Chain A
Amino acid sequence: MLRDILLIYGMLAVYYVMTVNLIYFSILACSFRSIMTVFRRAAFSKYNTLSGSELVPSVSLLVPAYNEEVTIIENVKCLLTLNYPTYEVIVINDGSPDNTLGVLCKEFELEPMESPGLRNAIDCEQVKAVYHNPKYPHLYVIDKPNGGKADSLNAGINLSHYPLISSIDADSLLEKDALIRMARMYMENPEETVAIGGDVRIANGCVIENGQVKSFSLPRKMWPMFQAVEYLKAFLGGRIGWSSINGLIIVSGAFGMFRKDYVIAVGGYRGGYPGEDMNIIIKLHRYMLENKLPYKVAFCPEAVCWTQAPDTYHILSNQRKRWGRGNLKNMLENYDMAFNPKYKVMGLLTMPYNIIFEALNPYFKLTGLIALIGYAMLDMTHWKILAVFWAVNFVSGYLFSIGAFVLEELAFKRFNRLADLCKMLGFAALKFFGYSQLGALWRVQGHIQYLRNNNSWGAMTRQSWKEESKPAKQA
């Protein structure tokens, strides 16, 4: 009996692994198919001319800030110097107990506005005041009671004056051309593009001066290095491919651009849980498909945002648990989309993939391990078979990493030192011994947090906000 169960499980596991690898490599193939287009449009577009043109749509940058008094001034100054014709920067102070608002007002000599002209397009916490200084015509600061990141973004949308919005984390750094590159992509198809995601890269180890990444090099510490490999795989290997079949499920909260009218149509950002960046994209997919509107959620790998990755185990594990929690919540909320042909690629591929191969992945790993012990105890297997199985798994995963590096080298050529490339390849291999397993563990812990804290979300969210702001301070 036990043998039968184990046998069936073994077969299932083999098919599971085969399917997941098949999906990985199909997506990677899609990425490869579109990478030369990415390269050409990055190399041959005249961004300089575009960045002064009156025809480029205006954008409101929304920057939620919670306890950012140390870094906010520099970040805002950097955001105010983007190469872009018309845009505004809206900083939303989410009831920070520190002096975030104070330092902003002092540096930019901001005064409360008499009539800020807030619309009530989306519900959010009552805004206390909007600060502005005519000397800095493109800067607004909203002060409101604490309500979480999503609530801050909603408040920002209510104030924003322009048709496009872009959400940016207060602890990340935009390249000067990042916004115009995204806008160029939007202008290719302004009717159908509802959201565009940017490429997020790890800034640890880079030299940053005056809001500019002066020289690029890899992180020196172990944790950011693993994340650098991970981000490269996810963004270049994964998201380019997913966006080419219009199945992108997430636009990074660190840097994304949206059409404001549709964000308002789906009710804005959802508060209360982490993972609001994935949530808004799922809602957009759902809304557009249910209303049978043609649409596209695009990914713009040439628009780069640099972020400081957590460099200690504690902060990293907290971040990943939070992601696991948010991810599970989003999947539970939208499970009905899975396997529903009405939702096209989203329903037939993206959602099933994310539920079975992302959210449930750690459980397969865990049961696999238990089954392995079972096989060994019942003498059903041979170490050679296990070795082959493991080797196949390792090689396919490693090939995927290499694929991502090749994509990077084809389009962007950022690694111009052999040592950097070797380091990347080394860490891509090391990832399989420990880091991947930790990732599964964090996800399970996130799920447990979700189940435990089902009724105390408010407190959780505030706490997670604090966690998020920690790396910014250390940066």
Chain B
Amino acid sequence: MPHTITAAEEHEDHLHHAEDKLRKSPGARFGLMYIYAANAPSYLESQIVSLLETKGDADFEVWRDSETGCLAVMLPGLALDQVHFRGLLLKQQLQERISDLHPHITLASFPEQGEPDEEVFRQMANLSRTSLSEDIHIFTKVETEHSAPGRILVVDNDAGMREFLQIRLRMHGYETREAEDGLAALELIETWQPDLVLTELNLYGIDGLPYIHQIRQLKVKEPPKIVVLTEQRVEQTISRCFEYGVNDYMTKPFSPVELDARIRRCFY
């Protein structure tokens, strides 16, 4: 049985592997590990394969996630504690073999930790890549629910600004759409039902404050959270916006890192 994927197959989406497997035996237990190292040598993948082979695992599979550059390891039949143990062992052995390696590992076992799906896999890969701690991260079910990335509607007059925000938010796994003016935004909120609206106040079509008010009045199942990102720095307007129930207010020029943090907070 081939334990690694050939170069030709590497182009394929990694998710298909996991999902193909799931489809063959739905409900079957399996463990999943995402390993990311910032300065990973090219032979890391083969190292992992050989280490796992020596442990005598029968049916594991390793592939590279092209999107994040993580290595994914699927271990059928393992419960969480077993996966965790395997992870610890693997990390230790890797660090013995390759000096100066700092692998970030996120692992989980399914279905014990929730319904595995595409979104969960992407989340795990992203967590490994963005995690700051070198400890092994156990991907929990609670996290699955909350960190399920949301849909964000980006509203701004300036095409450059919309593009920048969208690229950045997508990097963090959010699903995004854009609207150029207030009226288009209101329409999209109703039809697309985003979880959060990231909006400028100075828009064509509708005045800023009534626009915010109108978003609140829209008949949607779950009213979207609103984060205002604008040039408008007049105190009175800011306080009006909070009265109308916006979740956050940031002024341009803004720090992208701060924006990320504030948006993330809206989802927790």
Contacts and interface: CB of A to CB of B under 8 A. Distances in A.
A joins B in a complex = yes
B204 interface: yes
B231 A51 contact: yes
Interface stretch (A8-16, A76-84, A401-409): A76-84
A210 B181 contact: yes
Interface string B177-210: 0000111000000000000000000111111111
Contacts of B8: none
Contacts of A77: 205-207
A211 B205 contact: yes
Contacts of A81: 182, 202-208
B159 to A, nearest CB: 14
Q: Of A52, A53, A77, A135, which is in contact with the most chain B CB atoms at under 10 Å from its CB?
A: A52
A85 interface: yes
A303 to B, nearest CB: 17
A54 B207 contact: no
A86 B235 CA distance: 10
B54 interface: no
A86 B234 contact: yes
Contact of A85 (B203, B206, B209, B232): B232
B36 to A, nearest CB: 39
Interface string B204-222: 1111111001000000000
A321 interface: no
Given A52-B251, A210-B181, A138 B207 contact: yes
B204 A211 contact: yes
Given A51-B202, A81-B202, A211-B205, A135 B210 contact: yes
B205 A49 contact: no
Nearest to A83: B202
Contacts of B207: 77, 80-81, 136, 138
Chain A contact patch, size range? 20 to 34
A54 B251 CA distance: 13
B252 interface: yes
Contacts of B230: 52
Nearest to B240: A137
Contacts of A436: none
B240 A212 contact: no
A176 interface: yes
A210 B235 CA distance: 28
B236 interface: yes
B21 interface: no
A54 B205 contact: no
B205 A48 contact: no
A86 B232 CA distance: 9
Interface string A175-188: 01000000000000
A86 B233 CA distance: 10
B205 A210 contact: yes
A434 B156 CA distance: 49
- Per DSSP, chain A at the interface is loop
Nearest to B231: A52
Contacts of B235: 54
A312 B230 CA distance: 44
Interface string A132-145: 00011110000000
A136 B202 contact: no
Contacts of A80: 206-207, 210
Interface string A16-59: 00000000000000000000000000000000110111100000
Contact of B233 (A53, A83, A135, A136): A53
A138 B202 CA distance: 14
B181 A85 contact: no
B162 to A, nearest CB: 15
A211 B206 CA distance: 10
A212 B204 CA distance: 8
A86 B236 contact: yes
B229 to A, nearest CB: 11
A54 B202 contact: no
Contact of A54 (B209, B233, B240): B233
Contact of A135 (B183, B208, B213, B237): B213
B230 to A, nearest CB: 7
Interface string A307-346: 0000000000000000000000000000000000000000
A385 B40 CA distance: 92
A51 B157 CA distance: 14
Nearest to B201: A52
A470 B253 CA distance: 45
Contacts of A176: 202, 204
A86 B202 CA distance: 12
A410 B213 CA distance: 44
Centre residue among A48, A81, A176 by max chain B CB count within 10 A: A81
Contacts of B240: 137
Residue from the set B182, B202, B203, B230 with the largest chain A CB neighbour count within 10 Å? B202
Nearest to B209: A137
A15 to B, nearest CB: 54
Contacts of B232: 51-52, 85
29 contacts: A48-B231, A48-B252, A49-B231, A49-B252, A49-B253, A51-B231, A52-B202, A52-B233, A52-B234, A52-B252, A53-B233, A54-B234, A54-B235, A77-B205, A80-B210, A81-B182, A81-B202, A81-B204, A81-B205, A81-B207, A81-B208, A83-B202, A83-B231, A85-B237, A135-B209, A135-B213, A136-B207, A210-B183, A211-B205
Given A83-B231, A176-B204, 16 more contacts: A48-B252, A51-B231, A52-B202, A52-B230, A52-B252, A53-B233, A54-B233, A77-B206, A81-B208, A85-B232, A86-B234, A135-B213, A136-B209, A137-B209, A176-B202, A210-B181
Instruction: Give 10 nearest A-B pairs by CB, closest first.
Output: A52-B231, A80-B207, A52-B232, A52-B233, A210-B204, A85-B234, A210-B205, A83-B202, A48-B231, A54-B234
Interface of A: 48-49, 51-54, 77, 80-81, 83, 85-86, 135-138, 176, 210-212
